[in-house]
Chains A and B, each alone.
Chain A
Amino acid sequence: MKRVLIPLASYLAVTIVVPILNGAPIDAPFIEHAALTIIITGTLSALRAPRSSEGRERSSDWVVTATRQSSVGQSKGSTPR
């Protein structure tokens, strides 16, 4: 979920928040549009969540390796972002 947070926030901002700030009437069609948008984007983001936690496991493994390397005198500067 964290990996798609920026696309999700941008999507919701442009399709829901900006129209509200521009004074769009919050009537039944707008609420239907907002509900459909939140449900679908939320579901799709949640579906991507297992992959992102997989990624975190991999990166934490990498940090352990780096720590082991640094403990034998190698630089810590090569830890990937």
Chain B
Amino acid sequence: MTRQRIDSALAIVAMLAITYALKRHYSTATAEALQWILAPTAWLVETVFRAPFVFEQHVGYVNQELRFAIAPSCAGVNFMIIAICSASVGFVTYMRTLRAKLALLCVSVALAYLATLGVNATRIVIALLLKAHPLSIAGLSAAQIHHAEGIVVYFSSLCALYLLADRLLARAEAPT
């Protein structure tokens, strides 16, 4: 096994430790403990949709008029974990030293957080629009359409961000 492969394996182990800790925190966290992600998401949704969301203990950010809650279950932490995993596994070979690979992991965590805020706020705004203007698609219920919309927004964004980052890293590495 070459030195580079050992370094890549170490970086992936570090990534697994971070994502495991995040998943463990998320599985038991209350709305109060998830303020670090719920508050900026609610702020972004408020800014775009121009509807106030008020924090309610043990529930999350709620708009009574729209009957909509930004609750822990839609905090987007799973998307953040997926983005960290994709970036770390997909781009670790671009980095040559262990230090660079660990730096990639740190940058991935920070960018995954920012991407999660943007993508999740977009998903929630689309969900609010779909609530205001219900669609009927192939006999799917409103809950199934909401679920499908989440998968489409999350997965499309994940692929777009991954391909963009891959292109940027390949360009940075290509000989001039």
Q: Contacts of A8 on B, CB cut-off 8 Å?
A: 155, 159
Which of A7, A36, A80 touches B86 (beta carbons < 8 Å)?
A7
**Interface status of B49 (Cβ within 8 A of chain A):** no
On chain A, the number of residues with a Cβ less than 8 Å from chain B's Cβ atoms is 24
Per-residue interface assignment for chain A, residues 44 to 63, with 1 indicating a CB less than 8 Å from any chain B CB and 0 otherwise: 11001000000000000000
| Pair B155/A11 contact, Cβ less than 8 Å | yes
A67 at the interface (CB under 8 A from B): no
Which candidate, B31-39, B51-59, B62-70, B145-153, is the interface stretch facing chain A? B145-153
Instruction: Tally A-B pairs: CB < 8 A.
Output: 61
Question: How many residues on the B side are at the interface (Cβ–Cβ under 8 A)?
Answer: 26
The stretch of B1-9, B126-134, B168-176 in contact with A is: B168-176
A4 touches B159 (CB 8 A): yes
In the complex with contacts A4-B162, A44-B159, A80-B82 CB distance below 8 A: no
By the criterion CB–CB under 8 Å, are A78 and B175 in contact? Answer: yes
Residues of A contacting B163 in the complex (Cβ-Cβ under 8 angstroms)? 3-4
Please provide the chain A residues from 1 to 37 with a CB less than 8 Å away from any CB of chain B in the complex: 3-4, 6-8, 10-11, 13-15, 18, 22, 32-33, 36-37
Q: Show the binding face of A for B, using Cβ within 8 Å.
A: 3-4, 6-8, 10-11, 13-15, 18, 22, 32-33, 36-37, 40-41, 44-45, 48, 78, 80-81
In the A-B complex, the 10 residue pairs with the smallest Cβ-Cβ separation, listed nearest first, are: A10-B85, A6-B90, A40-B151, A10-B86, A7-B86, A10-B82, A7-B162, A7-B158, A4-B159, A14-B82
Seed contacts A3-B163, A4-B163, A40-B152; 19 additional CB < 8 Å A-B pairs? A6-B86, A6-B89, A7-B90, A7-B155, A7-B158, A7-B159, A8-B155, A10-B82, A10-B158, A13-B85, A14-B81, A14-B85, A18-B23, A40-B155, A41-B151, A78-B175, A80-B174, A81-B170, A81-B173
